[in-house]
Chains A and B, each alone.
Chain A
Amino acid sequence: MKRMFLSGNEAVAYGAIDAGCRFYAGYPITPSSEIMHMMAKLLPEAGGVFIQAEDELAAINMIIGASWAGLKSMAATSGPGFSLMQEGIGYAVMTETPLVIVDVMRAGPATGQATKAAQGDLMQTRWGRHGDQYLVVLAPESPQEAYDLIIEAFNISESLRTPVVFLMDEFIGHGREVVFRKEPGEIKLVERRRSSDHEPLFGSDDPRIPPPMPRLGEGYYVLVTGSTHNEYGYRDVHSFETHYKLVRRLKEKIWGNIDKVFKYEVIGDPGRAEKAIVCFGSTCRSAKEAVMGLDNVLLIRLITLWPLNYDLLRELLSNVRLVVVPELSLGQLIYDVQQVIDSGIKVVGVNKVGGGVPIYPSEIKKALEV
């Protein structure tokens, strides 16, 4: 264990290196650039490859290629670049390519406010791509958690053969705190399952178990395609059965493993609480301060934002009469809360975005007084 003083962005870079990431492609963009700076420095030392891509379209596709060639790969960006990466992320979902994409959120839409924090990309991480597709979204609240959770992000991407979106915001990316960096022996690493002969590379009997993934050049004559394909990778762009079977399996691979990937933190007693706060990322820090000394408020911090365990959220919120949802956007997570509560329960959003202004604990406290 090594004590360091790091920004969230720097913590992500160290975490990625410690998770075994050996390929990074990216394009500079505020407020994520420090991740790229760090990877440019750390990767050559670690025997990995760093390349500055000509744009985000290239970056996402380069890491797809590198992942198939056998390296754990990552790209980091912010809103505008994340929008450009969407098609590639969809391709990674379809081809079951393990990747980690970091989105350090800034105020949008469009160029918006490049240096100011926001949380407006939440729905885009889930639904930004065309077609039926599912992946995993994780969101840390501090540099320390950014370090620990990015390792988990790589582990999930490897074990489920899926892209994982790592959702931070400018406050966490640029906020600086003490981070304990682990020694190699202290970290549990997961590697993708390699191929055994005759096992199909794009299908499995149990959809919750991802098929194995060989490295290119091992003699499997791998056929990778973003078109609809059967379990051996052969394109089939006509049949209903092949397409339906494929997208159902890809969905079940994520949702069927919800117990393994769904992480959250609860402060308070769900049995006694009358009110609740549901939050993610940096806004939870204000929310945690707001509930100090209040024993009738339940705080639910979502660490995994997708797939979301709706049943669990419903159960946790079953006794409350008021839910406050603070967000650095005009309101996106609030729809998830509205989905799981009874119509009689009041849901209040505390929404602020732009100018780098945080949601203050006093504003959350005030909302709780309703």
Chain B
Amino acid sequence: MIKHEHLSLKYMRREVLPTAFCPGCYNGIVMNALFQAFEELGIYDLRKYVFVSGIGCSSWIPSPYIKADSLHTLHGRAIPVATGVKLANPELEVIVIGGDGDLASIGGNHLLHAARRNMDLVVIMINNLVYGMTRGQAAPTTPKGMVTPTTPYGNPEEPMDVARLIANTNANYVARWCVSQYLFLKNSFKKVLGEIKRGFRFIEVYAPCTTFVIRRENKTPGQKLKELMNTCIGYEKWEKLPAEERTKHIPTGVFREEDKPGFLDNYKQLIARLKR
């Protein structure tokens, strides 16, 4: 009998499996897309990759599940730690994986400034719409009107469109995909890992929390995934929709794509000027 192994396993620490994620959690889809991107690029060993994460469910993806160096940092501080690692050793490829609460709320300032600097990092933000690890409280990405433990009468606030916000900075690459758009997501990962290898590269993954969003809607993760296939549309199409229709859809796509010098290139130039 031929023993067939799942491709993800060679990138994971087997001794800590199974994962702590809820059944049906979309984190698995994101991990799979990332690992498939690595495999298709012919990268089988992650020893020159450093994963940095903060606090939250998605921050547990690298720590401890990915077999690579990983720093599981304070809530919101993954990007500054990653910045320190990258600047101290530019040979390392540094990838931040975090949630919307971690990266856009408590760590929002760092996200903006790393993007402004075009810091040489890959940042993957898994947007599950709530604080999933602490029982689904409202996050800055929670849709208006949604009921959560901290918004028992409906969320009075407008949500933040993180990908389109970062697209207005100096970042080299900004994209957003839903978990239902697996191939696009995987190709975006391939793009930022294999092609555009410098500057700030930001990928938002729209992946509602299985337990605290989808179950509250009385749906299964599978049903929700089918629904997302209609909810998530290309942003060119979304922009042509009437205002009331726009709120019902998620604009996805690549919002920004460039290969201009990142922070490190500019810093190296400064050093070269100094030596002259």
Contacts and interface: CB of A to CB of B under 8 A. Distances in A.
Interface residues of A, number: 45
A55 B84 contact: no
B85 A44 contact: no
B47 A64 contact: no
B71 A224 contact: yes
A58 B72 contact: no
B88 A69 contact: yes
Indicate the size class of the contact surface on chain B. 35 or more
* Majority secondary structure of chain A interface residues (helix, strand, loop or mixed): mixed
B70 interface: yes
Q: Counting chain A CB atoms within 10 Å of each CB, which of B13, B63, B76, B85 scores highest?
A: B85
A233 B63 CA distance: 10
A267 B86 CA distance: 48
B69 A216 contact: yes
Contacts of A221: 13, 47, 67-69
Interface string B61-94: 0011001111111101101111111111101100
Interface string A24-66: 0100000000000000000011010101011101110111111
Given A57-B77, A58-B113, A223-B63, A217 B48 contact: yes
Given A69-B85, A234-B16, A57 B72 contact: no
A217 B63 contact: no
20 contacts: A23-B84, A25-B84, A44-B270, A47-B271, A53-B80, A54-B112, A57-B110, A58-B79, A59-B80, A61-B74, A61-B80, A66-B85, A69-B92, A73-B84, A88-B74, A91-B74, A216-B92, A221-B47, A224-B71, A235-B72
Nearest to B273: A44
A81 to B, nearest CB: 14
Given A44-B271, A44-B274, A217-B47, A223 B84 contact: no
A62 B83 contact: yes
Sorted nearest first, the 5 A-B pairs with minimum C-beta distance are A65-B84, A69-B88, A61-B80, A66-B88, A62-B84
B130 interface: no
A65 B85 contact: yes
B52 interface: yes
Contact of B109 (A54, A59, A226): A54
Interface in B10-46: 13, 16
